[in-house]
Amino acid sequence: MTEDRRILDFYLFEKFLKLAKSTGMKADIHIKYFMKNEKQLLRFLFSLSLVLLIGACNQIEPEPKVSELSEISTGDLKSINENDLIHLSSIFASILDNPDVLNEFYGYSRLEGNEGELEFSLRRVFETENDLISRKKSSIVSVFKNQEKSLRTQSSSYDSDFFIDFINQNDIEVLAPYLARNFSIEEIDELTISWWTQEMEDEGYRKDPNWKGETPAFKVKLGENRSLDSILEGLENQTLEVFMVSDEYAMENPTIVFGAFGQGLYERSFEKKGINRENLSLTNAVPFNEGITCAEVLPTDVVRYHLPNFRILDNTRGWPSGNFITFWVAYGAYSLNSSGVPSLGFNVNRLVHEKKINRGDFGWKTDFLAQPILTHWHDSNISIQIIIGYQRSNHVLTQTLTSVSVNPTTGVTTNSQQTVSQGDTMSFGSQTWYRCAEINGGHKIDNGLGLYGGNAIWQFTGRDGRVQFTLEPRLTRL
């Protein structure tokens, strides 16, 4: 080993210790790993320097944490090495110039279940090495692996095996909420490449409970065939600007975000699911939607309670995450035993669990619930309670739900209660509705928000946004 080389190694080692100490890292753990591979040490030093630069440009004094509802930390959130995530984002910035790779990215917006939003699991792509759209070998995988061998990327910073392991171990996903919706692939001449970590979101909400989300990013022009080395050098010497992006920016500029979002994109099934018809089949049935009062409902009539329309008016999490909605209904459960003796129980049904609505999609939806709220609202069930929640990390929703029932044999009224709890969830709100009031036309009375489809618009307002919906009883007489 030459004297110059020993000096360089000592310089790198000393620089690593200083950077590790400045960020509070446990240097003794990382030294053993990185000193085995100078290539990984160089990559780490560059990435860590970039993280420090971004942090220095965005320092804000922390604000006191606001505690609402039953909010407690759920803990054990998976952390990710942001240094390597920046480096991975840079690799994709260099290969998205390839038309086959960009086409494959866009293809995921056409999968059933994505509803025009570009999002997919990179881990699935690299594990299967298949393009789910073309059913052929993935261009993403091929170009990613071959890039290391290409003449224009003789890079000490590129280690495809290391980054494939990084993708798989951290379940890296890709989100681009507005890319396919707002831009055709033919009109794109530049891309904004961004990255996200859970720590960014946690820090944002600590500083401001009403934080709307933003992520660091840089921009590359397509057609320049820019190598990974030139991108890394541009980030290091700041000729390639790092800036913060949010919804407003991404709506106007094609933007792709990489991160361990935990949205379960690997497990998502893209097969179209039909409406659940269980307990809905009635022969020779004629629907009566109006004109019958509660007193005129026959014992043989079936009263279903529907949610015909639903929408969100705000994004419930910071950029770039989607909106995940959960819906519960609490009601008295009337039943007859084998001897025909009636009894009352109490149910709390979770009708949907973290059902996704695309970021920025604030339109009315007619199929949000794939079945009625109640398949039969029996006359023994005086009231029901509805609660709607949304996904939010580090919070636990806990709420007691109530339903009022009357025993059809004794006439005794019973208040039934049950507590529901769900992690990583906050509440938009809850409310009680009464059977006879709804059948008698209460669902058509404007409560200040107008009508939609002939029914009154209801609204719940949570800390992070609003939901609106309509309700409707539908009576079926045999």
Split at pLDDT 50, 70, 90, the class of 341 is confident
Split at pLDDT 50, 70, 90, the class of 218 is very high
pLDDT one-digit tens code per residue, 173-193: 999 999 999 999 999 999 999
What pLDDT score was predicted for residue 408?
78
What pLDDT score was predicted for residue 361?
94
Inform me whether the pLDDT recorded for 18 exceeds 60.
Answer: no
- Strand, helix or coil for residue 397: strand
Mean pLDDT computed over every residue of the chain: 80
What pLDDT score was predicted for residue 133?
73
What pLDDT score was predicted for residue 198?
92
Report the percentage of the chain scoring pLDDT > 90: 54
Q: What is the spatial order of strands in the sheet that 173-176 belongs to?
A: 118-121, 173-176, 255-259, 190-196, 215-221, 243-245
Among residues 187, 467, 93, which one has the least CA distance to residue 313? 467
What pLDDT score was predicted for residue 309?
97
Between CA 124 and CA 168 the distance in angstroms is: 8
* Bigger pLDDT: 344 vs 145: 145
Among residues 353, 355, 305, 349, which one has the least CA distance to residue 328? 349
Between CA 410 and CA 403 the distance in angstroms is: 18
What pLDDT score was predicted for residue 277?
43
Count CB neighbours of 295 within 10 A. 8
Count CB neighbours of 217 within 10 A. 24
pLDDT one-digit tens code per residue, 364-373: 999 899 889 9
Between CA 7 and CA 472 the distance in angstroms is: 78
Contact (Cβ atoms closer than 8 angstroms) between residue 347 and residue 330: yes
Tokens representing residue 431 in the block: 């409310």
Tokens representing residue 299 in the block: 């014992």
Cα-flanking dihedrals φ and ψ of residue 3, to 5°? -60, -40
CA–centroid distance for 3 within its chain: 53
Inform me whether the pLDDT recorded for 219 exceeds 80.
Answer: yes
Cα-flanking dihedrals φ and ψ of residue 345, to 5°? -125, -160
Burial (CB count <10 Å: 0-12, 13-18, 19+), residue 342: middle
The reported pTM is 0.78
Inform me whether the pLDDT recorded for 34 exceeds 70.
Answer: no
